[in-house]
Structure 1
Amino acid sequence: MSEDSPPGLDLARLRTHLDAERPGLVTGELRARVIEGGRSNLTYVVEDGTHRWVVRRPPLGHVLPTAHDMRREHTVISALGPTPVPVPATLLLCTDESVLGAPFYVMDHVEGTPYRQRDQLVPLGADRTRRIAESMVDTLAELHAVDHRAVGLAEFGRPDGFLERQLRRWGKQLDASRSRDLPGVDRLRERLAARLPPSPPPTVVHGDYRLDNLLVAGDDTITAVLDWEMSTVGDPLTDIALLIAYTEGEALGDDLSSVASAPGFPPVADLVARYTATSGRDTSAMGWYLGFAFFKLAVILEGIYYRFNQGKTVGEGFDRIGASVAPLVARGNAVLEED
Structure 2
Amino acid sequence: MTSTHIDVSAIDFDTLGAWMDGQGLPGGPITDVAPVLGGTQNMMVRLERGGRPYILRRPPLHARQRSNDVLRREARLLAALRDTPVPAPVLVAAQTAEEPVFYLMEPVDGFNPSVGLPEPHASDPAIRHRMGFEAAAALAELGRVDPGALPGFGRPEGFLERQVPRWLKELDSYGALDGYPGPDIPGLHETAEWLTRRLPRSFTPGIMHGDYHFANLMFACDGPRVAAIVDWEMCTIGDPLLDLGWLLATWPVSNGHVPGLPSPQELVAYYAALSERDLSAIGWYAVMACFKLGIVLEGTHARAFAGKAPKDIGDLLHATTLELFERAREFMDGVLD
Contact 1:8–1:60 at 8 Å: present in 2 too?
no
Whether the aligned pair in 1 keeps the contact of 2:56 and 2:102 (CA below 8 Å) is no
Correspondence for 2:29 among 27, 30, 42: 27
Q: Which moved more, 1:116-125 or 1:45-54?
A: 116-125
Q: How many residues align?
A: 314
Provide the rounded CA distance (Å) in 2 between the counterparts of 1:233 and 1:158.
7
Change (3 A) 1:276 1:299: same
5+ residue gaps in structure 2? none
Conserved? CA contact 2:249–2:327, under 8 Å: no
Aligned counterpart in structure 1 of residue 285 of structure 2, from 274, 284, 289: 289
Alignment of 1:126-205 (within 5 A): 126-149=125-148, 152-177=149-174, 179=177, 180=180, 181-184=183-186, 185-205=188-208
Q: What residue is the counterpart of 1:254 in the other structure?
A: none
The 5-angstrom pairing of residues 139-288 of structure 1 reads 139-149=138-148, 152-177=149-174, 179=177, 180=180, 181-184=183-186, 185-220=188-223, 221-247=225-251, 249-250=252-253, 258-259=256-257, 262-263=259-260, 265-288=261-284
Unaligned runs of 5+ in 1: 1-5, 252-256
Cα–Cα, structure 1 residues 17 and 328, in superposed 2: closer, same or farther, change >3 Å? farther
Tell me how far apart the structure 1 counterparts of residues 247 and 333 of structure 2 sit (CA, whole Å): 20
Does the 8 A contact of 1:46 with 1:55 survive in 2?
no
State the AA in 2 paired with 1:330: E
Residue 89 (1) aligns with residue 90 (2): yes
Q: Is the 8 A contact 1:68 1:229 kept in 2?
A: no
Of all paired residues, the percent bearing the same amino acid is 33
- Structure 1 residues 12 and 292: CA distance shift in structure 2, 3 A: closer
CA distance in 2, matches of 1:56, 1:164: 34
Q: What is the deviation of 1:281?
A: 2.5
Contact 1:95 1:104 in 2 (8 A): no
Q: SS of the residue aligned with 1:290?
A: helix
Q: Name the SS for the 1:198 alignment partner.
A: coil
Q: Which residue number in structure 1 is paired with residue 44 of structure 2?
A: 44
Aligned residue type for 2:111: T
Deviations 1:62-83 (A, max 9, x none): 87x8998222222111101001
CA–CA distance in 2 between the matches of 1:205 and 1:83?
15
How far, CA to CA, are the matches of 2:80 and 2:314 in structure 1?
33
SS state at 1:310 partner: coil
The 8 Å contact of residues 59 and 67 in structure 2, kept in 1 or not, is answered as no
TM-score, normalised via structure 1 length: 0.77
Change (3 A) 1:112 1:237: same
Are the structure 2 counterparts of residues 71 and 219 from structure 1 closer, same or farther at C-alpha, using a change threshold of 3 Å? same
- Conserved in 1, the CA contact under 8 Å of 2:209 and 2:232? yes
- Shift, 1:276, TM fit: 0.8
Question: How far 1:28 sits from its partner (Å)?
Answer: 2.8
Deviations 1:155-175 (A, max 9, x none): 222222111123333334334
Instruction: Give the aligned partner of residue 327 of structure 2.
Output: 331
Aligned-partner Cα distance in 2 for 1:59–1:338: 47
2:61 and 2:132 mapped to 1: Cα distance?
Answer: 30
Give the 3 Å change call, closer, same or farther, for CA 52–242 of structure 1 in structure 2: same
TM-score norm. by structure 2 comes to 0.78
What CA distance in whole angstroms lies between the structure 2 residues aligned with 1:66 and 1:166? Answer: 24
The answer on whether the counterparts of 1:298 and 1:328 sit within 8 Å (CA) in structure 2 is: yes
Instruction: Out of 17-26 and 285-294, give the one that drifted further.
Output: 17-26
TM-fit CA distance, 1:35: 1.8
Quote the residue 1:110 is aligned against: 108
Cα deviation, 1:185-225, whole Å, max 9, x if unaligned, reads 34433432333112322111111122221211122232211
Contact 2:81–2:88 (8 Å) recurs in 1: yes
How far residue 118 of structure 1 moved from its aligned partner, in angstroms, is 7.5
Q: Secondary structure at the match of 2:147?
A: coil
Give the deviation of 1:269 after TM superposition. 0.7
* Cα distance change of structure 1 residues 168 and 274 upon mapping to structure 2, 3 Å threshold: same
Residues 6, 35 of structure 2: 8 Å contact kept = no
How far has the Cα of 1:176 moved from its partner? 4.1
Q: Secondary structure at the match of 1:47?
A: strand
